[in-house]
Amino acid sequence: MNVPRHVVLISLDCLRFDCLGCEDNQQYLKRHRLDHRVRTPTLDELAGKGVRFSQAICTAPYTTSSHASIFTGLYPPRHGLRAFLTSKLSGTAIPLAEKLRSNGFVTIRSADGASFFSLAGLDRGVDHCLSRADHALFDVLKEHRRDHVYLFVHFFDLHEWYGFCEYPYRQHHNADFRERVEQLRRLYGTERADSDIQYPLVKDSVQAAGHYDVLFREYIHGITKFDQGRLAWFMRNLAETGILDDALLVLFSDHGEAIRLDSPSDAQRILEGAPVRIEPVNHGGPLTEEVIRVPLILSAPGGLPEGEIIDDQVSLADIMPTVLDILGIDPESDPACTSLDGRSLLPLIEGEPAEDRAVYSESWVWSWDDHLEFVDRCEKAGELLVPNHKASLYQRSIRTPQSKLIIQGDVPVGESSLLDKLKPANSFRDIWPFNLDVLPGCMLFDIQNDPFEERNLLCTGMAGQYAEVTDTLYRVLDRVCSAERAVEEEAIGYKSEEEIEEMKRQLRGLGYI
């Protein structure tokens, strides 16, 4: 294929894999009677112009660690950026921007969540860093129309607050959001408050009533609004700069969003119209399918096939080596890039047979009490302090297209007898932990025949039948986790008052403080 002149990465934070209108697998949405609500003509058009991977798996269910894998081609134990807001990218990891800048590219980052990237060391190698500045971005691109450009764009519109547009691309861009919040406020009898706290108060009222499906509908509505609003506008303006005429475009999400049921029987009760208690819509905890499966689309005019769908399992860690492969840049030209966890997807795109491959994901959690104490200390100090949250490794998973093994709890791997020592965890997939006292355990799901992860095969009384597959997946997990001993975490630090204020604003807007 012809080597593209430019590279454009677009990250749609918090977009589920099945929330594209062109995605045929709607079984999760049908379960909640929401499949008819997904309308994404802009994303569908982009998918029709390129190659869409239907089984792309993220490496972590939160922004920083997942993007670190996307940029470096490494799993979290090797890139060092693991628990949210406690560490930054290891100095030994080479991000894509740094690699491309050394190959003559002008590197640009435009992000809604700019502080998350700068604090975590994810801006290394970037020449121009923009924050919520779409119009300014188009001006910068025009200035560099004669250069080779690497552009990374990050959108937060799909994250909470659902339906809130992060950038004023037109007048009254959030009028509908305020109207929907007001309707819910009246419906649930929430007290009236200032606009910057009205949504959290309404959300609390909805959750107190146990109506989490209402929040999920708002999430779906927000996707439709973004697709037909800011994203459509952005793509039109981006096309007018001319960059897309000769660019490799990679569009993805860093993680999904889940609405989880309390027990397997709840599925039938929903179908029968009976009320059920549903856990909040969220991400960041359990490594469930709706959270770790994400959209991934690649396109290049005249270079990659159009309208192709690849169902083979891939990892978001494959993006970096794929970009280098398409550009003809040898990863081995830099010693730090010689042993990536990710693999180039170009052979799959060109029709080579897929290997039977397992991919890795992990999740860390905070102590909620420690988090609240941290917020209290920040308020008393009048600034956002360097985080010192106590975080715990909550879940690690190895997934194949057929099976998923989850090791729960911060337990060492490498002992051949470990699986004998671990007790099976929940028979049903795990719910969000509200403290760090996570009981060590293991779960094995047949995700082909049990996509909702309702039957932990190690709890069935027939665990012996699955000893071989469990042992095979565990050996892969052991190989991945053995790398963590060689990577030292680097603490996050804040550079300026402006950075502190921006991070406080973003954390408050996302519901973290």
Name residue, tokens 């039938």: 268
Of residues 321 and 383, more confidence is placed in 321
pLDDT at 154: 97
Does residue 344 share a domain with residue 425?
no
Of residues 259 and 419, more confidence is placed in 259
Share of the chain above pLDDT 90, in %: 47
| pLDDT tens readout for residues 4-50 | 999 999 999 999 999 999 999 888 888 777 777 789 999 999 999 99
373 forms bridges with which residues in the sheet? Answer: none
Of residues 47 and 283, more confidence is placed in 47
| pLDDT tens readout for residues 135-148 | 999 999 999 999 99
Separation between Cα atoms, residue 443 and residue 408, nearest integer Å: 8
C-beta of residue 46 within 8 angstroms of C-beta of residue 251 = yes
Does residue 456 share a domain with residue 333?
no
Environment class of 176 (CB within 10 Å of its CB; exposed 0-12, middle 13-18, buried 19+): middle
pLDDT at 3 over 60: yes
Among 34-38, 39-43, 70-74, 243-247, the minimum mean pLDDT is found in 34-38
Separation between Cα atoms, residue 266 and residue 225, nearest integer Å: 30
Share of the chain above pLDDT 70, in %: 78
Separation between Cα atoms, residue 453 and residue 408, nearest integer Å: 15
Separation between Cα atoms, residue 61 and residue 286, nearest integer Å: 8
C-beta of residue 402 within 8 angstroms of C-beta of residue 467 = no
pTM exceeds 0.75 for this model: yes
Among 9-13, 361-365, 435-439, 491-495, the minimum mean pLDDT is found in 435-439
| Cα–Cα distances in angstroms (integers) from residue 192 to residues 181, 211, 420, 508, in the given order | 11, 20, 55, 19
C-beta of residue 429 within 8 angstroms of C-beta of residue 475 = no
pLDDT at 28: 83
Q: What single letter denotes the amino acid at residue 488?
A: E
Sheet architecture: strand order including 423-424: 359-366, 391-399, 403-408, 441-446, 423-424
Q: Point out the domain boundary residue: 326, 349, 372.
A: 349
pLDDT at 157: 94
Kindly tell me the sign of the dihedral angle through the C-alpha atoms of 411, 413, 415, 417.
positive
- Examine residue 107 and state whether it is found in any structural domain, yes or no: yes
Does residue 333 share a domain with residue 381?
no
Position 414 confidence tier, pLDDT thresholds 50, 70, 90: low
What are the φ and ψ backbone dihedral angles of 111, each rounded to 5 degrees? -135, 140
CATH number, domain with residue 110: 3.40.720.10
Among 29-33, 294-298, 388-392, 423-427, the minimum mean pLDDT is found in 423-427
- Examine residue 500 and state whether it is found in any structural domain, yes or no: no
Share the mean pLDDT of the chain: 83
What is the number of other CB atoms lying within 10 angstroms of the CB of residue 139? 11
For the chain, give the longest Cα–Cα distance.
65
- Examine residue 499 and state whether it is found in any structural domain, yes or no: no
Mean pLDDT of 263-269: 42
What are the φ and ψ backbone dihedral angles of 282, each rounded to 5 degrees? -170, -175
Position 432 confidence tier, pLDDT thresholds 50, 70, 90: very low
Mean pLDDT of 110-121: 87
- Examine residue 507 and state whether it is found in any structural domain, yes or no: no
Does residue 264 share a domain with residue 379?
no
For the chain, state the CA radius of gyration. 22
492 forms bridges with which residues in the sheet? Answer: none
pLDDT at 435: 44
Separation between Cα atoms, residue 235 and residue 42, nearest integer Å: 9
| pLDDT tens readout for residues 50-60 | 999 999 999 99
Position 305 confidence tier, pLDDT thresholds 50, 70, 90: very high
| Cα–Cα distances in angstroms (integers) from residue 377 to residues 116, 374, 380, 389, in the given order | 21, 5, 5, 12
pLDDT at 44: 97
C-beta of residue 458 within 8 angstroms of C-beta of residue 442 = yes
pLDDT at 231: 97
pLDDT at 318 over 80: yes
3-state DSSP of 308-365: EEEEEEEEHHHHHHHHHHHHCCCHHHCHHHCCCCCCCCHHHHCCCCCCCCCEEEEEEE
Kindly tell me the sign of the dihedral angle through the C-alpha atoms of 193, 194, 197, 200.
positive
Does residue 271 share a domain with residue 178?
yes
Kindly tell me the sign of the dihedral angle through the C-alpha atoms of 59, 62, 67, 72.
negative
pLDDT at 271 over 60: no
Does residue 344 share a domain with residue 363?
no
- Examine residue 511 and state whether it is found in any structural domain, yes or no: no
Name residues whose C-beta falls within 8 Å of residue 50's C-beta, 6 or more positions apart in sequence. Answer: 249, 297, 298, 299, 300, 304, 305, 306, 308
Which residues span the domain enclosing 150?
Answer: 8-349
pLDDT at 160: 82
- Examine residue 382 and state whether it is found in any structural domain, yes or no: yes
pLDDT at 265: 43
Separation between Cα atoms, residue 504 and residue 204, nearest integer Å: 21
Does residue 368 share a domain with residue 326?
no
Q: Point out the domain boundary residue: 349, 378, 393.
A: 349
Instruction: Report how many domains make up the chain.
Output: 2
- Examine residue 496 and state whether it is found in any structural domain, yes or no: no
Position 386 confidence tier, pLDDT thresholds 50, 70, 90: low
Does residue 438 share a domain with residue 298?
no
Among 29-38, 62-71, 81-90, 383-392, the minimum mean pLDDT is found in 383-392
Does residue 382 share a domain with residue 293?
no
Q: What single letter denotes the amino acid at residue 487?
A: V
Does residue 48 share a domain with residue 116?
yes
- Examine residue 126 and state whether it is found in any structural domain, yes or no: yes
Q: Is the peptide bond before 161 cis (omega within 30 degrees of 0)?
A: yes
C-beta of residue 56 within 8 angstroms of C-beta of residue 322 = no
CATH number, domain with residue 462: 3.30.1120
Name residues whose C-beta falls within 8 Å of residue 498's C-beta, 6 or more positions apart in sequence. Answer: none
364 forms bridges with which residues in the sheet? Answer: 393
pLDDT at 431 over 70: no
User: Do the bridges between strand 490-491 and strand 87-88 make them parallel or antiparallel, or are there none, so unpaired?
Assistant: antiparallel
Q: Point out the domain boundary residue: 298, 325, 349.
A: 349
What are the φ and ψ backbone dihedral angles of 384, each rounded to 5 degrees? -85, 115
Does residue 303 share a domain with residue 232?
yes
Does residue 374 share a domain with residue 317?
no
| Cα–Cα distances in angstroms (integers) from residue 239 to residues 117, 130, 424, 474, in the given order | 25, 19, 52, 46
| pLDDT tens readout for residues 172-221 | 889 999 999 999 999 998 988 887 778 888 888 887 887 777 888 899 99
